[in-house]
Amino acid sequence: MSQYQNKRIVLASRPVGEPTADNFRLETTTTEPLEAGQILIKTLYLSLDPYMRGRMSDVKSYADPVAIGEVMTAETAGVVVESNSPLYAVGDHVCCRSGWQEYFVSNDKDPMTYKVDAAKVPLSTYLGVCGMPGRTAYFGLQREGKPTAGETLVVSAASGAVGSVVGQIGKKLGLRVVGVAGGAKKCTYVKDELGFDECIDYKSADLDAALAAACPNGIDIYFESVGGMVSEAVAKQLNPGARVPICGYIANYNSKDITQVRTPFHIFGELETPPAHKFFLVFDYYSEFAEANQALTDWVVNGELKYQETIVDGLEKAPEYFSWLFSGKNFGKLVVNVADH
């Protein structure tokens, strides 16, 4: 068994406010020889997602924080380069939770390591529309949102990795779908390419007036990923019996003390008739991941589900790219190309 030089990015310090490159450290280690039932995976694509900001803090949350000196957590797509398992062969493409590093030793029974077919759809899409963000949209809308044909769905971060899929599934289910995105380019894409009924530019529109015009029958489902002023505007127009699946609230993630900010839980909880609202985790539906993976992949293959990716190069620059998530610089799913093969 060979040993490989492994570049990895670890958490060097906990950020106060928005993360900077100083909060990360690049290290080089050597991979360990494989034990029975293990495989060595070479990372080809690394997913960057907003939830990682929460894992950098030591505030109590749904998941343990990344420890100082520990590899930053992340989903990746790669290729098996060595195998000491009958379940995987060299050359198999897989997704796993390797974190921000070039190589990863996985146990063959790890439930978060699984094979994917790179001949069916591009490998990078298994980190976006056909992966965790797609599954989040799939279950968040259908199970948490409980949609009925004819209802009105509003989707924040509508051009993003999750929101773009939420809206397209909503249209398949017969909903009136209104997106909220930042900038004319993203709004045009959401309406003209993804097929939303309307898309509101939160940067330029009078949100209250724009939402009222786009949602003449009120709002039945709001898929929450942003928080802040978008949630405040939506809250005013929710119908009785509305549902608000909370995927995240990125507007608050870089607050110096998130326990002191006004989150969607405050905004919706204080209403006279609060909507059904909860923070949901895609892993609540882990036993049904295969169903979602199959449906999402089939829709992409058939052209029924469109997507946008921003693919950038270089593991070393991942800390810089990570900041794009909070400025809106990326368009669609943000993926780092770590290696070509």
Rounded CA separation 282/296 (Å):
15
What is the CATH architecture of 132-283?
A: 3-Layer(aba) Sandwich (3.40)
Q: Count CA atoms within 13 Å of residue 270 on its CB side.
A: 9
pLDDT digits (tens, 9 = 90+) for 173-225: 999 999 999 999 999 999 999 999 999 999 877 999 999 999 999 999 999 99
- β-bridge pairing 93-96 and 103-107: unpaired
Distance CA 29, CA 172 (A): 48
Question: 252 or 157, which is more confident?
Answer: 157
Instruction: Read off the tokens for 307.
Output: 């997507």
Alpha carbon of residue 69 to chain centroid: 24
Closest residue by Cα to residue 49 from 326, 262, 259, 314 = 326
Domain borders along the chain are 5-128+307-337, 132-283
Phi first, then psi, for residue 162 (nearest 5°) are -90, -50
Determine the pLDDT at residue 256. Answer: 61
- List, for residues 132-158, the tens digit of each pLDDT value: 999 999 999 999 999 999 999 999 999
Residue 258: pLDDT over 70: no
User: Residue 155's closest CA among 263, 145, 323, 146?
Assistant: 145
Whether the pLDDT of residue 92 is over 80: the answer is: yes
Q: What is the pLDDT of residues 283-335, one digit of tens each?
A: 899 999 999 999 999 999 999 999 999 999 999 999 999 999 988 888 999 99
Question: What's the confidence (pLDDT) of residue 257?
Answer: 65
Mean pLDDT value across the chain: 94
Task: Label residue 263 by pLDDT band (50, 70, 90).
Answer: confident
Q: For 5-128+307-337, CATH number? A: 3.90.180.10
What's residue 3's pLDDT?
87
Of all helices (H) and strands (E), which one includes residue 229? helix 228-235
Q: Decide if 322 contacts 254 (C-beta within 8 A).
A: no
Q: How far, in Å, are 142, 178, 214, 219 from residue 151 at the CA level?
A: 13, 11, 13, 8
Which residue shows structure tokens 């990326």?
330
